[in-house]
Chains A and B, each alone.
Chain A
C-alpha cells in the first residue's frame, strides 16, 4: 500500500525545462497510466519516481516521507527492453531478487532457503504462464514471454509500487491482450500501486483506474526550451475500477494472506505474503 504525492515538481536539464508544476496525488492501489506525445517528459517523470533522477524543484513523497534518491526494493520496474538478465535462466531471473535480499555477501542462497525460494519462483512462473520454460535463457523467449518474466521477477520481491515504462509497447496485439489480462490479475491479487507510461491510449484506458496526460502548451521553437510539459488531463475511469482487497485470512494456519477477490484462490498466496 503506497500513496505517492508529487508536490509542485519541476525537472530541468540546464536551461531546458522538461516538466513544470507537476502536482499529483496517487492513491494507494491505484493504477495510473501516463500518456502523452514523445518527448513530453513521461519517462523523466517515471525516472524521478524510480529515484534515478531527482526533481530540480518540489518534492516527491511516498506515504508522507520523501522518496529515496536511488532505486530500491520498494519500487519494482519493468522496462520495454533489457528488464531481465540475459546471463540467467528464467528461474534464476525470478529467484534473483530474493537471493540479492537474503544473501548480502554472496548473492546466492543454498540448501533449504534456496529450495523455498525456488518453489515460490516455480509457482509464480506457473502463474504468469511460463511453466516449462524455467531452464531457458531469456534470449530463447518471445518478446511477450520476456515481459511476463520481467513482471514475475519484479513482483517476486514484493514491491509496494510497480513502475512500467512502455512495457508492452513492442508486443503484437494478440500477445498484448494476453499480457493485459495477466497485468490486471496481478494488480488485483497483489498489493501494488502501479504507474505505467504508455504510448497507447487504448492500453491506458483498458488497464488503468486513472489516465494522466502530459502535454507541452508552448511549442514554438523559441519557447520550447523554457516551457516544460504539464499535466493537461487527469481522467478518472468511470465506472470506477477498484482493486480487489487483500485481507489477511484469519483461518490460514501458516499465517499467509489470501487474495479475497475471487481470483485464483490458491495461486498467488505467496505474492500477497511477499508484499504485505
Chain B
C-alpha cells in the first residue's frame, strides 16, 4: 500500500501526537543529567527540580521587594496589553474589511494602501512608537495593533469578496440596502472567519508583545525573561516560555471552541 493511503487509527494517532513531546523531554533531561553530573552548578540545562523550585517562588510566593506575586503580575500585565490590542485590531478590522469588501469605491481607495502598509515591518516602527507615544502601555499596544491589523483586514476583506455573488444579489432582491446587506448578510458570515484570522494572528501578536516588553517595560512575561537572562536564570526562562506557549495554546483552543458554539452553521459551509 502507498504511504499516502496509510491512515493511523485512533490510538495510533494519539501515540504519534505524543511522540515529539516525549522525544523532546527525553533529549532535554538526558542532556541536563549529563551536564549536571559533570558540573552540579551548571545553569544552562537546569533539572526539573530546580525549575519547579523557581516556579514555586515566582508563582506562589510574594516577592520581598515588590510585595506581589511576580508571575501573576507579569501574566496580568502581558494579557491586558495583548487582549486590548487584539480587541482594537478586531473591531477596526471588521469595519474596514466590510467596507472594503462591500463597497467597490472603498476597495479602490483603501485596498492598495492596506496591502502596502501590511508590508511595513512592525518592529522597525517600534522606535518611532517609543519616541512618539513614550515608553508606557500605549506604544506596546500600538505595536501589536500595527502588526496585526493590516493582515486581519486583508484576510477578512478577501473573505467578504469570496461570498457568493448570488447571495448579495439575492439580498438586494429581498429589499436590502447596502447597510442591511452589510449587517445581516456580510457581518454574520464574516464573524466565524474572523475567528480563524484571529487564531492565525495570535503568534505574531505574542511576538510583538514580547519584543516590546523586552525593550522597555517594568512588568510582563517578556520583560521578566529578558531581565533574568542577565543571570543566566534558565530555571525561570524555560518555565516562562512554557507558560507563554500554554497561554497562547489555550487562547487558540478557546477561539476554536467559541467558533463551534457561536456559529454552528459554519462547519458545514467552510471549505474543507
A-side interface residues toward B, CB under 8 Å?
50, 52, 70-73, 75-77, 79, 81-87, 96-97, 99-101, 104-108, 137, 139-140, 153-154, 157, 159
Contact = CB atoms under 8 A, between A and B. Distances in A.
B173 A104 contact: no
Contacts of A81: 164, 166
Interface residues of B, number: 25
Interface stretch (B72-80, B82-90, B229-237, B260-268): B260-268
Nearest to A77: B173
16 contacts: A73-B175, A77-B173, A82-B170, A85-B170, A85-B171, A86-B189, A86-B265, A87-B188, A87-B189, A96-B174, A97-B174, A104-B177, A107-B183, A108-B184, A137-B265, A159-B173
Contact of B174 (A104, A137, A153): A153
A71 B169 contact: yes
A107 to B, nearest CB: 4
Interface of B: 164, 166-167, 169-177, 179-180, 183-185, 188-189, 263-266, 268-269
Contacts of A108: 184
Contact of B264 (A77, A100, A105, A137): A137
B166 A79 contact: yes
A87 B167 CA distance: 11
Given A72-B175, A96-B184, A159-B173, A82 B166 contact: yes
B175 A100 contact: yes
B180 A87 contact: no
Nearest to A47: B169
Nearest to B268: A139
B193 to A, nearest CB: 11
A85 B266 CA distance: 11
The winner among B167, B170, B184, B266 for most chain A CB atoms within 10 A is B170
A75 B189 CA distance: 25
Contacts of B264: 137
A100 B184 contact: yes
A72 B173 contact: yes
Nearest to A86: B269
B185 A85 contact: yes
A52 B166 CA distance: 11
Contacts of A87: 188-189, 263, 265-266
Nearest to B171: A100
B265 A139 contact: yes
The winner among A50, A86, A104 for most chain B CB atoms within 10 A is A86
A85 B172 contact: no
Contacts of A104: 177, 180
A89 to B, nearest CB: 8
B72 to A, nearest CB: 40
